[in-house]
Structure 1
Amino acid sequence: MLGPVVEQALTRRGFLAGAAAGGAVSLTAAACSGPAGPAGPGPSPSTAPGTSSPPPSSSAPPSSSLPPSSTGPAAPSTAALPSVPPWAPGAGELQPDVKLRAVQLVEALGSWPAGAGGADAARSRVSALGLDPSLVAQAGSLRPSAEAVSLRVVDAQYGGLLADSASVLVVCEQSESSGATLTAGGTTVDVRLSQARPRWTVTELHPAQPGAPAAELSSAARQVLTSSRIQLPPAAHADLASGAVHDSVLTAMLTLARTYSFAVSVVRSGHPVDVFGTTRPSDHPLGRAFDVWQIDGHAVVDPATPTELVDAFMRAAAAAGSYNVGGPRQLSGGATANQFFSDDTHHDHVHVGFRS
C-alpha cells in the first residue's frame, strides 16, 4: 500500500498520475532548487544543495589573478531532500506510545542522510532505539537503494490492538536522492509489537508487496487513480495499479467520493493476512477492503472531528455495498446484524469490507 510526494517540485496528485502510467518519477536538482515543502519525518541530507568550487592548490596564484575561465567546472549538484520533523501522536490515541514506538523504528530504517545508508548504519540507529538490530533484515522496500532518503509518515493506524500485542500500519512517503535526482517512493509497513517494559518492543516487520502494474485496468480503477477526491498513499496506489483490487471496492470508493473527499490508508498490501489475533482471513489481502483515516480533512481519530461526519460516512459505506463497516463507534441498524462493528483496533479509522 505507491503514490508518493516529492515535497519541492512534484505535487502528490501529479505523481500519482505519473505512477499510474507505470514509470518511475524523478526530478533533476535544478527542478528541486526551490524551498523545501511541507514537513515530514526523516533527517535532511548532510550536504547543502547547490554547487561548490574546489579550493585552489597551494601553488596556484590567488583567484583574483586567474582568468575567469581557469576556475574549473563546478562540482555536481546534490539533490536536496525535504527537511521533515518526526511524527508524533495526536489527541485521541488509545495507546500513543505503541504507535510512536512503531513509527520511530520505521523512521530510523526508512530515512538517512548522505553517507549513512548502509546496513551497519541502520543497525546502529535501530540499536539506539533499544530495539533488535536484526530487524534491519526485514525492512525490505522500506530501504530503497538511494544515497539519502527523507521519509514522511502519512498515517499510523492499528492493524490490531490487544492487551499484550499490536499491529501498527505505518503509511509513509519517501523522497529518494541519488546524485542530482530526486525520486518519489514510499510504502506501508505492518509493524508487530508485544508488550514490554519500559516500552513495547517490536518483534516483526512486514513491508507492503503490492505487485507489478497491470497491463490493463478496469474503468473503475482508472477513475479512482485519477480522482482528486480520493487520496491514495504509495502502497495503496500500487495495489490499484496492480489490478488486484475488486471493482466492488473501487465502485464504492467512487460512490463515496461524490459526497466526501477522503484519505485511504490501506487497501490490500501492508495489512495483516488474518484479522489480528485470529486465524480468520482478512478481506484486505484479498483485494476486498479499504481503510479510511481522514474524511473531508478531519482525522477519524481526532476528538475534534464531528462524530456525525464519521457516522454518516460509515452509513454511506454500507449503502454503497459494504457488508462489514467498522469504526470508532458501534452504529445501530444495518441490513444485517453485523454490518456495523467497533473495537479498539478501529478507533482510528473506518474499515469498509466486501464479500466479492
Structure 2
Amino acid sequence: MRLPDAAPGRRAVLLAGLGCALTACSSTTTAPPNAPTSPSSRSAPMSTPSPSSTSAPMSTPAPSPGGSASPFPSPAAWQPGPGELQPDVKLRAVQVVAAVGGWPAGGQGVAAARARVAALGLDPGLAEQGGALLADAPRAALEVVYAQYGGLLADSASVLVVCRQWLAGADGAVVSAGSTVDVRLSRSAPRWTVTALHPADPGAAAAALPDPATRVLASARIVLPPAGAADVRSGQVHASVLTAMLALAGTYAFEPSVLRSGHPLLVFGTDRPSDHPQGRAFDTWRIDGHPVVDPATPAELVRSFMRDAAAAGSYNVGGPYLLPGGGTANQFFSDDTHHDHVHAGFRT
C-alpha cells in the first residue's frame, strides 16, 4: 500500500425502523464487540493495550428498572498515545468524525451536525460529507477504534478514522453500525485543517461467500472493524488476502484496521492505484494486544508479523521497520505513513 486518494463517501439515510442499513451494520446489541478471547499460540499471552493508544473500554449504564431498554454505550474520547507522529493531525481528524457521528438525544440531523463541526473551528459543510454516519436516529454514540495514517506528507495528510457507531431506537433498542472515514487535512496555522471526508462504501453483502471469507468472519483471532467486516461480506476481498489472514491467525491474534473501503484510491501523493480499493490488501494496527505504534510493543513481534505476512504471500509489506531480504525486490518497506500499522499487499 502506500496511500491513495479517496473516493467520495456514499450518502445514506438509514434506520427506517432501525434496521441494519448503515455501512457496516451488525445485529442489535447492547455492548461493543469484544476483543479476541482466544489466547495467541505465541508464548506470551495477549496484554491489555495502553489506554492512550486505543479507545478506552465502554462504560455500561445500568438497565432501566423495567429492564426493557438496552443500555446505551458511552465511549471515551480517543486520544493519541505514545509513538504517534504529529498526533494533533490525528486528533483533528478524530474530532470532526466524532462531531458528525455522535450526538445527544435530539441532536440528529445535518443542521445539528453542521453546528457541532463549526464549534471545532472547521467548515460546517464538512458535516454534509458524513455519509452513513448521519443516521436518522434520536441519539448516537461513536467510538474511534483507531486513527491510522493513509498518508503523511509535509503539507497534507490522510487519516483513516476507524469507528463504531451505536444508534438509539424509539423502542430502546441499540443498533450497532460503524464506518471508516478517510479524513483529508492540510497544514494550516495554528492547527492543521480538515478539507474533506470520504466515508467507506463497502457495498451490499454478497448472496454467497467462499470458504475463506466465512472463516475470516467467524475467527475470534481476527477482529475486523465494521467497514472491514462489510468488505468481507461484500465478496470483494480477494482470496489471497483472506487466506493470508487465516494463516497469520494461526500464530497471532490481530486487529486489521483497513481492508478495501475507506482507503484512498491512489497511493497518497502519487498517481499510482492502491491495492486496497481493489480488495488486495489489509492493514493491521494491533497484534497480540499490542498497538503497532506503541514504543512499548516488542519490535520483534512486529517484525515477525511482517515476515510472516510475506511468507503468507504478500509481495509488498510495509511497517515501522525496514526489514532486510525478501523474496522479491522491495518486498519490505518503511516510511512515516506506515509507522503506525503493518500493510500487506497482494497480487491476484
TM-score by length of 2: 0.83
Which string of whole-angstrom CA distances, capped at 9 and with x for unpartnered residues, describes residues 141-193 of structure 1?
12222111111100100000000000000000111101111101000000000
**Equivalent position of 2:145 in the other structure:** 154
1:130 has 2:152 as partner: no
Q: Say if 1:5 and 1:77 are closer, same or farther in 2 by CA, change over 3 A.
A: closer
Letter paired with 1:50:
S
State the alpha-carbon separation in 1 of the partners of residues 229 and 24 from structure 2: 4
The equivalences for 1:315-354 within 5 A come to 315-354=307-346
The equivalences for 1:218-297 within 5 A come to 218-297=210-289
What SS is found at the alignment partner of 2:258? coil
**Equivalent position of 1:101 in the other structure:** 92
Q: 1:203 aligns with which of 189, 195, 202?
A: 195
**Equivalent position of 1:31 in the other structure:** none
Shift in Å at residue 77 of structure 1? Answer: 6.6
- 2:265·2:276 contact (CA, 8 Å) conserved in 1? yes
Shift in Å at residue 79 of structure 1? Answer: 4.6
Q: Say if 1:10 and 1:270 are closer, same or farther in 2 by CA, change over 3 A.
A: closer
Q: Say if 1:112 and 1:354 are closer, same or farther in 2 by CA, change over 3 A.
A: same
- 1:154·1:172 contact (CA, 8 Å) conserved in 2? yes
Shift in Å at residue 2 of structure 1? Answer: 2.9
The equivalences for 1:293-312 within 5 A come to 293-312=285-304
Q: Say if 1:91 and 1:6 are closer, same or farther in 2 by CA, change over 3 A.
A: farther
The equivalences for 1:45-194 within 5 A come to 50=64, 79-179=70-170, 180-194=172-186
State the alpha-carbon separation in 2 of the partners of residues 10 and 237 from structure 1: 15
Q: Which has the higher contact order (CA 8 A, sep 6+)?
A: 2
State the alpha-carbon separation in 2 of the partners of residues 292 and 210 from structure 1: 18
Shift in Å at residue 355 of structure 1? Answer: 1.1
- 2:30·2:174 contact (CA, 8 Å) conserved in 1? no
1:2 has 2:24 as partner: yes
Q: Say if 1:184 and 1:13 are closer, same or farther in 2 by CA, change over 3 A.
A: farther
State the alpha-carbon separation in 1 of the partners of residues 69 and 269 from structure 2: 46
Q: Which has the higher helix share?
A: 1
Q: Name stretches of at least 5 consecutive residues in structure 2 with no aligned partner.
A: 1-22, 37-55
State the alpha-carbon separation in 1 of the partners of residues 347 and 108 from structure 2: 43
Shift in Å at residue 120 of structure 1? Answer: 1.5
**Equivalent position of 2:209 in the other structure:** 217
Letter paired with 1:224:
V
**Equivalent position of 1:314 in the other structure:** 306
- 2:143·2:163 contact (CA, 8 Å) conserved in 1? yes
- 1:224·1:254 contact (CA, 8 Å) conserved in 2? yes
Shift in Å at residue 140 of structure 1? Answer: 0.2
State the alpha-carbon separation in 1 of the partners of residues 32 and 277 from structure 2: 30
What SS is found at the alignment partner of 1:167? strand
Letter paired with 1:2:
A
Q: Say if 1:158 and 1:5 are closer, same or farther in 2 by CA, change over 3 A.
A: farther
Which string of whole-angstrom CA distances, capped at 9 and with x for unpartnered residues, describes residues 275-317 of structure 1?
0000100000000000000000000000000000000000000
**Equivalent position of 1:34 in the other structure:** none
**Equivalent position of 2:58 in the other structure:** 39
State the alpha-carbon separation in 2 of the partners of residues 83 and 221 from structure 1: 32
- 2:108·2:135 contact (CA, 8 Å) conserved in 1? no
State the alpha-carbon separation in 1 of the partners of residues 169 and 323 from structure 2: 50
- 1:5·1:175 contact (CA, 8 Å) conserved in 2? no
Shift in Å at residue 78 of structure 1? Answer: 5.8
Shift in Å at residue 7 of structure 1? Answer: 7.2
- 2:57·2:76 contact (CA, 8 Å) conserved in 1? no
Letter paired with 1:284:
H
State the alpha-carbon separation in 2 of the partners of residues 204 and 218 from structure 1: 36
Q: Say if 1:212 and 1:329 are closer, same or farther in 2 by CA, change over 3 A.
A: same
What SS is found at the alignment partner of 1:186? strand
Q: Name stretches of at least 5 consecutive residues in structure 1 with no aligned partner.
A: 15-36, 52-73
Letter paired with 2:303:
D
